Structure 1
């Protein structure tokens, strides 16, 4: 018999490893941050940006890949910059591109419900970013060169937030952080360490919206198992919370 919490978790009615190491340490004379957005050949070493706010302007003028010519807004992140949980999505969609915020629309509503089902709040307990900061035309999958061009910004976000736990939402997020291009259906639910942090690949909410079945072993049923595992890991690392 299905858990009633699992059923309500996905009810939107009425709702409008073999990971590569992080980038090498910053050189004695780091690159000028003002020059970085002009070319993918210019590195972004750790420590380039002093705060998450410093990422906004460079990302919005970035031309490190071709996506800079078609974006409306770069989508950097939202939530608590000191959160213990960081969620990394894939790439902005049309609404995200227009608003400059990740996980808006129905995918964002579903993510809120998933978090709330284990007493986590998007604005208080998590910080949300995207692997790719600019929308690929037609919502196509980002290319390897686009992932590589944007990855240094993502690594800076992770460094600045310094989360205890990272959730990798979708295959592009997994590939961006860990370099693993294995399909998300094979990776989800398997905890791994990256940069000494526990990371969990999970389905992207938009994938769950396209797969409404809630029977055992369906994507939504599996997400219910995964989010409970996230809560258990959080409580393990924060026993007084």
Structure 2
């Protein structure tokens, strides 16, 4: 049976969603974040990087959300329910699978880090400097970058029902966490098509089952 090493409040929720969409049986090994929000050391016994998600299947141990989603699609989605077959849509599919973690998520992580520089666990004597530095980097670089990406996504979803075309695919599953993080902590208004996309995700029975299995997904806004 497929085993998912699942960290609470993490990107591994995407793997649970994919498994539910494919109606595959699986079991979950659960891990809780430490007080500093880092993954516990126990995950290093599963994979050297000590990160989640990790998927085990037939002796295979696989990390990285995108690689896991592609593996599940190629191995278990014989009817291509979660991957378009038209050449142009396949290119869209590939782009969004890589864009999610390659372009958008690093900016959102940087946003979270720089917004935290004025708060614990930063030493008390450095918090004022950290706050000024964090605000400066956000204003000079991050906010403008996130605005560009948000408008790009909004424009794309104006003309597309889902990221790779007119139906749900693994590209949407991969994009789910960064889009939700962008809406939560990006500080950008007037994104009706992105918000409508998230509502469609929230309404999917497979997403709801994944939340029941993995626990509530609450992506924090700016700390």
* TM-score in same-fold range (> 0.5): no
| Structure with the higher helix share, 1 or 2 | 2
TM-score, structure 1 normalization = 0.29
Higher relative contact order (CA 8 A, sep 6+): 2
